[in-house]
Chains A and B, each alone.
Chain A
């Protein structure tokens, strides 16, 4: 059903991309590495037979959200002295230790879980047709509410981006 090698390669790419993203000085290269991690995650979704979610991951994240980030980075046009050069100080060390501790807690908990084999694939699992059916019947109310939320977000973003003198 799923190839272990594909999972390992994709997850390595994703994790390395996120690490590089965090430690880049320039936000543009951070954004590029973020796109790379989104593509890696899309491949991991494919190994989980989530075809529709994988397609949406690329369309929404790599397409829409990344373009938004790029526009804002270009719009701000940060000069060299405004780019924040983080030095490795106590805060960095504490942050990494904190993240390591949380990861250790998660991992210890997850390793205690029984090793679960994936059940037989139901025909049509994860396709746009079946996900759309569930989205339009059982989850139709959250779906409509998300539509309203997107509208509110649109109005809010316009309001925030407006200049004062208008």
Chain B
């Protein structure tokens, strides 16, 4: 691996590193809010892989430029926004009913 110039592998390994850090965070932490933040990190790492591959397979096909990776990254961002809104809504109603955000204390589905 060549360290003086950046190639495809560098970006993909960075993406993998962020993904694994997100997984470690989800497994290690018990605070539900930080678990949500780690899910955002997971989505970001996948976005990075999409954008990287879009750059490394950039070409002009007919009149338009191949930009599918960027479009998918934008759609993932929108989905992440929806997921954060719904997830935080769930956290708020959960906290209202149980007065805790500790995942190890949330054991039952009812009451």
Chain A interface (Cβ < 8 Å from any Cβ of B): 2, 4, 7, 11, 14-15, 18-19, 21-22, 24, 27, 30-31, 34, 37-38, 41, 44-45, 47-50, 52-53, 56-57, 60-61, 64-65, 68-69, 72-73, 75-76, 78, 82-84, 86, 91-92, 94-96, 98-100, 102-103, 106-107, 110-111, 113, 115-119, 121-122, 124-126, 130-131, 133-135, 137-139, 142-143, 146, 149-150, 152-154, 156-161, 163
Contact = CB atoms under 8 A, between A and B. Distances in A.
Contacts of B4: 4
Interface of B: 1-14, 16-25, 27-31, 33-34, 36-38, 40-41, 44, 47-48, 51-52, 54-60, 64-65, 67-68, 70-71, 73-75, 77-86, 88-93, 95-96, 99-102
Contact of B28 (A61, A95, A119): A95
A73 B74 contact: no
B6 A72 contact: no
Given A65-B40, A131-B71, A50 B78 contact: no
Contacts of B86: 153, 156-157, 160
Contacts of A152: 82
A4 B64 CA distance: 29
Given A65-B80, A99-B20, A157-B86, A45 B51 contact: yes
A134 B21 contact: no
Contacts of A37: 41, 44
A115 B2 contact: yes
A11 B51 contact: no
